[in-house]
């Protein structure tokens, strides 16, 4: 018997004797364990939650992280502000074609500037206001200023409104102020009545500016399971547990691409990011340090990942390991789970 024949005979005997077929797919437990092992190797990572078809498939916390502790989701808060803007639009309080001139009349009476006055709410939502950023190198000066609104409106025009992306937390803060002015409610009160309470979400903390406006786009604290609820609601086209939270049209428009990051291969909608990962279009909220709500519509899945802020820097070295975890472990697991 030649070598090839002996090998084929051995494989046939192995197939008959084995209680499992050759090349069987790994079990759900084994796949999840692989995910947890890889996640454990990412030093900053604190939680991973995986949901598919509305059911929680796996949840793990690392380095003494607690499931019940509200974590600062940093700029993932901007996606929450976008949702609140959408609810206000649905209710007729605001229109995305309204302008800064409509809402900050006192400022522009003292500082007339037709170009700035014509910036629309739509421009704010897509980070296309054109105003110089109050993030990055300007963030510190902005947050210690006496008036966050005036500081942002005082910024020079860096781009044409509706043109290139200028990412800025001050821009999203203007949306929070507009929501308050338009609804007659604080942003937090509006959020609790129309977003958080209907979804049984509890805010752990939320900063305010010197004038008392809730911070638009940073320093909102949520537990990871509540982040998962937000992702599931968006995946459901604006519904949660059978209740309409925001219109399907707003969700659709939020996930469109209007501009693109200057620093990453990501597209930007109404304060939601998107990029392809392993052949799937992935939409996500993203906060500094690695706070993520990922939505993968093709797999009907939501993934939440949070990270420690202790050693986070603007270099964002956490991004590659997180996206590797998503691409090489979580997405294959979800593919198997959906079979």
pLDDT at 7: 41
Q: Is the pLDDT of residue 148 over 80?
A: yes
pLDDT at 337: 84
Q: Is the pLDDT of residue 207 over 50?
A: yes
Q: Give the chain's domains with CATH numbers.
A: 28-338 (3.40.710.10)
Q: What is the DSSP letter of 339?
A: -
Pairing of strands 267-268, 259-260: antiparallel
Q: Is the pLDDT of residue 179 over 90?
A: yes
| CB contact at 8 A, 62 and 41 | no
pLDDT at 8: 39
263-281 per-position pLDDT tens digit? 888 999 999 999 999 999 9
DSSP3 helix / strand / coil % (the chain, rounded to 5): 45, 20, 40
Lowest-pLDDT range of 102-106, 190-194, 312-316:
312-316
pLDDT at 182: 98
pLDDT band at 315 (very low <50, low <70, confident <90, very high): low
Q: Residues 181-201: what's their mean pLDDT?
A: 98
pTM of the model: 0.89
61-91 per-position pLDDT tens digit? 999 999 999 999 999 999 999 999 999 999 9
| CB contact at 8 A, 271 and 79 | yes
Q: Residues 197-214: what's their mean pLDDT?
A: 97
pLDDT at 263: 82
pLDDT at 316: 62
Q: Residues 26-44: what's their mean pLDDT?
A: 80
- Supply the mean pLDDT for the chain: 90
Beta bridge partners of 61: 47
Burial zone of 12 (CB within 10 Å; 0-12 exposed, 13-18 middle, 19+ buried): exposed
Structure tokens at 294: 């990922």
Q: Is the pLDDT of residue 178 over 60?
A: yes
pLDDT at 17: 33
- The beta strands (E) that lie in 41-148 are given as 45-52, 55-61, 71-72
């Amino acid at each position: 018997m030649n070598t090839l024949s002996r090998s084929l005979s051995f494989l046939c005997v192995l197939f008959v004797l084995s209680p499992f077929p050759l090349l069987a797919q790994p079990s759900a437990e084994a796949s999840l364990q692989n995910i947890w092992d890889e996640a454990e190797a990412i030093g900053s990572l604190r939680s991973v939650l995986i949901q598919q078809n509305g059911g929680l498939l796996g949840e793990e916390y690392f380095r003494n992280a607690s499931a019940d502790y509200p974590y600062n989701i940093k700029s993932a808060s901007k996606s929450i502000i976008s949702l609140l803007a959408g609810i206000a639009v649905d209710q007729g309080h605001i229109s995305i074609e309204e302008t800064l001139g409509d809402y900050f009349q006192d400022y522009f009476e003292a500082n007339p500037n037709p170009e700035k006055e014509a910036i629309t709410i739509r421009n704010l939502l897509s980070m296309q206001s054109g105003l110089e950023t109050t993030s990055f190198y300007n963030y510190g000066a902005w947050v210690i200023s006496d008036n966050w609104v005036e500081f942002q409106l005082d910024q020079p025009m860096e781009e044409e409104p509706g043109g290139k992306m200028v990412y800025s937390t001050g821009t999203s803060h203007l949306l929070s102020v507009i929501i308050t002015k338009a609804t007659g409610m604080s942003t937090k009160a509006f959020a609790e009545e129309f977003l958080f309470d209907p979804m049984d979400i509890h805010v752990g903390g939320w900063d305010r500016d010197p004038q008392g406006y809730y911070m638009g786009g940073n320093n909102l604290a949520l537990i990871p399971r509540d982040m998962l609820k937000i992702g599931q609601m968006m995946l459901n086209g604006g519904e949660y547990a059978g209740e309409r939270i925001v219109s399907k049209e707003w969700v659709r428009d939020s996930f469109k691409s209007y501009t693109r990051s200057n620093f990453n291969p990501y597209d930007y909608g109404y304060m939601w990011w998107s990029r392809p990962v392993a052949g799937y279009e992935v939409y996500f909220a993203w906060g500094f340090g690695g706070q993520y709500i990922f939505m993968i519509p093709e797999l009907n899945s939501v993934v939440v990942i949070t990270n420690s802020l202790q050693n986070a820097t603007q270099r964002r070295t956490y991004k590659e390991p997180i996206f590797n975890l998503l691409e090489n472990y979580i997405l294959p697991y979800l593919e198997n789970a959906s079979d």
